[in-house]
Amino acid sequence: MRNSTFPYLPKDFIQTKEGLIFAVVSYQDHDNKIGCFLRYVPDGDGWRKVNTQQANDLLQGSFPQYMYHSQKVDAQFHAVSLQDISHHHQPELRLKELLQREPRDEIEKKCHKLIPVLQQFGVQIEALGLTGSMLINQQKSTSDIDLVVYGRQAFQQTRLAIQQAITLGLVHKLDISLMQDNFERRSSELGFDEFSWHEERKFNKAAIENCKFDIGMVCLEDEKESDPHHYQKVGPRTFRTQVMDDKRAFDFPACYLVNDQETPVVLSFTHTYIGQAQQGELVEVSGMVERNTSTGQCRIIVGSNREAQGEYIKVIRC
């Protein structure tokens, strides 16, 4: 599953010698650095989660070596050199460790109950991992269970398992309270009702004993889409179009091929719009246009900033 020369995958965490913990967000290295985003900073005997502004302010003020501007995609993000890594937190190893011992808190108990439910519907434990706060043992009573699924086929199997488990009442759709919490965390540009409609049909999240869990896909080595080209930002665009291909809708980044001559490819780097639209649907897209500096072909990015402010994908319902 992991490339021996570059074993870092999205949803992994990497810890620096200063104790900073970054979430990996890229499959490829960037000038021998790992593309990532600062999520946790040392706080007493543990870590404290930081938001985007806090992360950027801290790095710019105290750790500028972890700020990086990519010439390839004309964007700034966080990146860590290999020599600065003190520990590599891998989701599949964390889940295996957790399941091999007795749970130590309520969230771990619920995780112990959830995995057998998924296995009951054909999900293979070898395809799963545990990320988020639980990856570094920083979960609270209000934490979610964030699962990683490795590979497109395994991910679709897990989505189907969630749908079947909901039907049988083994897990449940998010109630209005959990959906509201989900909405507030995502800072979506959509209204609550519209956001909820899109979320409910994805089957990539549900609840077990009132604890929200979700699944995120990580591509296997032969599923990765490498793009050697460089891109330059052109400007914002909002338009309506039809989705022609949704095979990579749950990838990271999510990819939709659309019926639009100017920007036939829509990419989403924000989890909110992963799995957002299906083939044949009419959608409205708002994002940042980028031009391939070699071919001149354009694409549109939803999530050109971490919160995707002013950017969205939504299905136009008649």
Q: Which two tokens stand for residue 201?
A: 């049909």
Q: What is the pLDDT of residue 163?
A: 98
Per the model's pLDDT, the better-predicted residue between 225 and 310 turns out to be 310
Single out the residue in 74, 89, 104 at which a domain terminates.
Answer: 89
Check pLDDT > 80 for residue 1.
Answer: no
Confidence bin at 301 (pLDDT 50/70/90): very high
282 contact partners, CB below 8 Å, separation of at least 6: 240, 241, 242, 243, 315, 316
Q: Which two tokens stand for residue 137?
A: 């043992």
126-142 pLDDT per residue, tens: 999 999 999 999 999 88
The verdict on 74 and 123 lying in the same domain is no
Per the model's pLDDT, the better-predicted residue between 241 and 305 turns out to be 241
Residue 258 lies in a domain: yes
The verdict on 96 and 214 lying in the same domain is yes
The verdict on 71 and 48 lying in the same domain is yes
144-176 pLDDT per residue, tens: 999 999 999 999 999 999 999 999 999 999 999
Residue 57 backbone zone (phi > 0: left; psi -120 to 50: alpha; other: beta): alpha
Q: Give the residue-averaged pLDDT of 314-318.
A: 92
Q: What is the pLDDT of residue 65?
A: 96
Residue 97 lies in a domain: yes
Supply the range of the domain harboring residue 117: 91-218
Residue 2 lies in a domain: no
Q: What is the pLDDT of residue 131?
A: 98
Confidence bin at 186 (pLDDT 50/70/90): confident
The verdict on 96 and 207 lying in the same domain is yes
The verdict on 79 and 106 lying in the same domain is no
The verdict on 204 and 231 lying in the same domain is no
Check pLDDT > 60 for residue 225.
Answer: yes
Q: What is the pLDDT of residue 305?
A: 63
Q: Which H or E run contains 160?
A: helix 152-167
- Cα(21)–Cα(48) distance, rounded to whole angstroms? 10
The verdict on 163 and 44 lying in the same domain is no
State the average pLDDT for the chain.
94
Q: What is the pLDDT of residue 248?
A: 96
Residue 8 lies in a domain: no
Residue 186 lies in a domain: yes
Single out the residue in 66, 89, 112 at which a domain terminates.
Answer: 89
Confidence bin at 3 (pLDDT 50/70/90): confident
The verdict on 95 and 214 lying in the same domain is yes
The verdict on 172 and 208 lying in the same domain is yes
* 130 neighbors 115 (Cβ within 8 angstroms): no
Task: Give the CA-trace dihedral at 69, 75, 77, 82, to 10 degrees.
Answer: -50
Per the model's pLDDT, the better-predicted residue between 205 and 185 turns out to be 205
Single out the residue in 218, 236, 260 at which a domain terminates.
Answer: 218
Per the model's pLDDT, the better-predicted residue between 260 and 5 turns out to be 260
Confidence bin at 30 (pLDDT 50/70/90): confident
Residue 235 backbone zone (phi > 0: left; psi -120 to 50: alpha; other: beta): left
172 contact partners, CB below 8 Å, separation of at least 6: 166, 206, 207, 208
232-248 pLDDT per residue, tens: 999 999 999 999 999 99
Residue 119 lies in a domain: yes
Residue 1 lies in a domain: no
How many domains does the chain fold into?
3
Per the model's pLDDT, the better-predicted residue between 45 and 87 turns out to be 87
Q: What is the pLDDT of residue 149?
A: 98
The verdict on 212 and 98 lying in the same domain is yes
40-66 pLDDT per residue, tens: 999 988 899 999 899 999 999 999 999
Residue 3 lies in a domain: no
The verdict on 310 and 232 lying in the same domain is yes
What is the β-pairing status of strands 312-315 and 282-292? antiparallel
- Comparing C-alpha atoms, which of 40, 38, 41, 33 is closest to residue 69? 33
| 291 SS3 class | strand
The verdict on 187 and 242 lying in the same domain is no
Q: Give the residue-averaged pLDDT of 170-198.
A: 94
Find the CATH number of the domain harbouring 234: 2.40.50
SS3 helix, strand, coil % of the chain, rounded to 5?
A: 30, 35, 35
